[in-house]
C-alpha cells in the first residue's frame, strides 16, 4: 500500500528538500511506526533542490488485523477476513498512517518555515491502487471541487485478459497548488470515503475527527452529504450531527459589520448570539433549550452568570451524550454543573419537568418535525410547558437562492421536513399565539436581503398576561 507526495516549491526560492520541514520528517532518516495489523514507513525516494518526494508505505498482515478484531470482511465469509485487498490497496489504514506520521503538518504548524506552511504550494499526489466504489467519476466529484486536477484511471482486472474489464480500483494522481495541511486532510477524509469502508468501529468520536479534518472545506463541498454518510459508515444520526456541526447550509460566511471583528462570522454563530441576546433582553433566568442537539446554544448560555437554571432537551440520547462531551460536563465546577441539566424529551409530547420556566428556545427545531405533528408541538410547548416567553428560529426558504452550493428546490438539511417563507412562518406563529394566549413579534437573523429577507427568521412569543 503506497502513497507519494511530491513538490518542487516553484516560486518560493527554497530548495525542494525543505518539504521535509513541512512534513516534520527528515529526508535523510526513514521512519516507521506500528499501526493496527501492520507497520507504516515514511521515506524520501528523492530529495534534491529541484524536486522532493515523500512516500508512505504500509505493510499489512491480514492475520494480525483479524486477531486485533479489525479485519472482518464485508463479504461476510470467514476466508474473506484473511484473503482481501487490505495489504495492497489504499484504505482507512492508510488514513490512520497519515495522521500518525503527519499530525503536526495536518494542523498547519511548522515553526521552521511558518510562511511556507501557510502558503499554497505545488503538489502532486499519487495513489497507485485506490478502492473507489463509484469509479473514476466519483474520484473527480470528490477532489475537483477542492482545487485538484484529477487523473483517475481504472485498473483492469487482468491486463492480459481485457475482456474481463476494469476492477473497482483506480490509479489516482492529483495535481494542484494547495496548502499542505489541506491536502493531507483531504486525503485523510477521502480515502475511506472512496473505499466506502473502515477497518474499525465507527462511533461518535469519528464525528469529531470528521469535523476537525473537514474544517474550512467540507462544509461547502457539493458532495458533503455523501462524504459524511460514507465516512461515518452510513450511520444517519452521526452524519446528521456532523453536518450540523459543519453548519452545512449555514456554512456560508456572513460579513460582520463590527469594525473590531477579526473575521467573518458563520450564520450558526450569528443565530446563537442573537438568541442569547433576546434571552438577556427578556431577563430570563430559567431557560430550556428544546432540541439542544450537541449543546452549542447551551454552551453559549452557560457563559451568562445571571441564568440560574438551564435545561437542554433532545429526543436523541446520543445527542445528549455528545452535548455533555462537548461541554466537558463532568469536569465543570460544581456551581456550573448545578445550573445545568440534560433531559431526554420529545418536543411533541408534554413534559411536566419543563412547566413554568421563564423561556423556552426552539432554535432550528420545528423544520425537523413532520407537519402533521406541529399541533402536538404547539400544545406541548405553549400549553403544557407554558413558559413566559418562547423563542423560535427557522430557515427562511426565500433566502435559499442566495446559497450558491444549494441546488434549486432542495432543503438546507437532509432531515428538514419543510422550510417556510416569511409569510408562511408568520401565519403559523400568529395562529399559535392567538390560540394559546401569546403576543408575537418577528426579527431577522443575519443580514437582511432587500429582495428575499434574512437567512434565518425569529419569532418571539410573550405570554399576554406576563406582557400586561
Note the pLDDT tens digit of each residue in 8-32. Answer: 987 788 899 999 999 999 999 999 9
What pLDDT shows up at residue 247? 59
State the residue for C-alpha cell 467573518. 264
**pLDDT above 90 as % of the chain:** 52
Quick: pLDDT tens for 312-371: 999 988 889 888 988 888 888 888 889 999 999 999 999 999 999 999 999 999 999 999
Mean pLDDT of the 206-218 span = 87
406: pLDDT confidence band, cut at 50, 70 and 90? confident
On whether the CB atoms of residues 253 and 268 are closer than 8 A, the answer is no
66: pLDDT confidence band, cut at 50, 70 and 90? low
Tell me the CA distances in angstroms from 196 to 97, 191, 204, 337, 431, one per residue in order: 18, 8, 18, 40, 47
* pLDDT at position 442 over 80: yes
Mean pLDDT of the chain: 86
Instruction: For residue 451, give every residue at least 6 positions away whose Cβ sits within 8 Å of its Cβ, in sequence order, or none.
Output: none
Nearest of 322, 117, 342 to residue 211 by alpha carbon: 322
Paired sense of beta strands 340-344 and 309-314, if any: parallel
* pLDDT at position 249 over 60: no
Mean pLDDT of the 152-157 span = 89
* pLDDT at position 400 over 70: yes
Quick: pLDDT tens for 51-62: 999 999 988 776
Query: How does DSSP assign 379-422, residue by residue?
Result: IIIIIII--SEEEEEEEBGGGGGG-TTS-TT--SSTT-S--B-H
CA 412 to CA 429: how far, in whole Å?
21
Mean pLDDT of the 72-79 span = 45
Mean pLDDT of the 230-236 span = 84
CA 407 to CA 385: how far, in whole Å?
38
* pLDDT at position 389 over 90: yes
CA 349 to CA 372: how far, in whole Å?
14
CA 252 to CA 233: how far, in whole Å?
27
What pLDDT shows up at residue 372? 95
Amino acid at each position: 500500500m503506497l502513497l507519494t507526495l511530491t513538490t518542487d516549491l516553484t516560486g518560493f526560492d527554497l530548495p525542494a528538500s525543505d518539504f521535509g520541514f513541512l512534513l516534520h520528517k527528515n529526508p535523510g532518516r526513514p521512519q516507521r511506526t506500528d499501526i493496527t495489523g501492520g507497520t507504516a514507513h515514511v521515506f524520501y525516494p528523492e530529495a534534491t533542490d529541484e524536486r522532493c518526494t515523500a512516500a508512505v508505505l504500509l505493510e499489512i498482515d491480514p492475520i494480525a488485523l483479524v486477531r486485533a478484531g479489525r479485519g472482518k470482511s464485508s463479504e461476510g465469509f470467514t476466508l474473506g477476513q484473511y484473503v482481501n485487498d487490505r495489504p495492497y490497496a489504499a484504505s482507512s489504514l492508510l488514513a490512520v498512517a497519515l495522521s500518525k506520521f503527519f499530525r503536526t503538518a495536518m494542523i498547519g504548524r511548522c515553526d521552521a518555515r511558518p510562511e511556507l506552511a501557510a502558503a499554497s504550494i505545488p503538489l502532486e499526489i499519487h495513489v497507485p491502487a485506490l478502492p473507489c466504489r463509484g469509479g473514476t467519476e466519483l474520484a473527480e466529484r470528490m477532489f475537483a471541487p477542492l482545487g485538484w486536477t484529477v487523473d483517475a484511471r481504472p485498473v483492469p482486472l487482468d491486463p492480459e485478459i481485457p475482456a474481463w474489464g476494469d476492477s473497482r480500483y483506480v490509479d489516482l494522481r492529483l495535481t494542484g497548488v494547495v496548502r499542505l495541511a489541506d491536502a493531507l486532510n483531504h486525503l485523510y477524509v477521502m480515502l475511506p470515503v472512496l473505499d466506502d469502508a473502515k477497518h474499525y468501529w465507527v462511533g461518535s468520536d469519528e464525528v469529531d475527527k470528521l469535523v476537525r479534518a473537514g474544517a474550512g472545506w467540507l462544509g461547502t463541498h457539493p458532495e458533503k452529504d455523501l462524504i459524511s454518510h460514507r465516512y461515518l459508515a452510513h450511520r444517519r444520526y452521526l452524519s446528521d450531527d456532523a453536518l450540523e456541526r459543519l453548519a452545512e447550509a449555514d456554512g456560508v460566511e456572513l460579513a460582520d459589520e463590527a469594525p473590531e471583528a477579526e473575521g467573518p462570522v458563520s450564520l450558526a454563530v450569528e443565530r446563537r448570539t442573537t438568541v442569547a441576546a433576546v434571552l438577556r433582553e427578556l431577563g430570563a433566568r430559567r431557560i430550556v433549550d428544546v432540541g439542544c442537539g450537541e449543546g452549542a446554544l447551551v454552551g453559549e448560555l452557560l457563559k451568562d452568570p445571571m441564568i440560574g437554571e438551564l435545561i437542554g432537551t433532545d429526543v436523541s440520547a446520543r445527542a445528549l451524550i455528545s452535548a455533555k462531551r462537548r461541554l466537558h460536563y463532568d469536569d465543570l465546577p460544581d456551581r456550573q454543573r448545578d445550573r445545568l441539566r440534560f433531559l431526554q424529551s420529545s418536543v411533541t409530547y408534554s413534559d411536566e419537568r419543563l412547566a413554568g420556566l421563564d423561556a423556552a428556545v426552539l432554535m432550528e427545531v420545528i423544520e425537523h418535525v413532520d407537519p402533521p405533528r406541529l399541533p402536538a408541538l404547539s400544545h406541548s410547548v405553549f400549553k403544557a410547558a407554558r413558559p413566559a416567553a418562547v423563542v423560535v428560529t427557522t430557515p427562511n426558504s426565500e433566502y435559499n437562492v442566495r446559497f450558491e452550493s444549494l441546488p434549486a428546490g432542495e432543503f438546507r438539511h437532509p432531515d428538514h421536513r419543510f422550510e417556510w417563507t416569511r409569510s408562511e412562518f408568520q401565519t403559523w406563529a400568529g395562529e399559535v399565539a392567538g390560540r394559546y394566549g401569546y403576543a408575537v413579534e418577528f426579527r431577522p437573523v443575519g443580514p437582511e436581503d432587500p429582495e428575499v429577507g434574512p437567512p434565518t427568521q425569529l419569532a418571539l412569543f410573550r405570554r399576554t398576561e406576563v406582557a400586561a
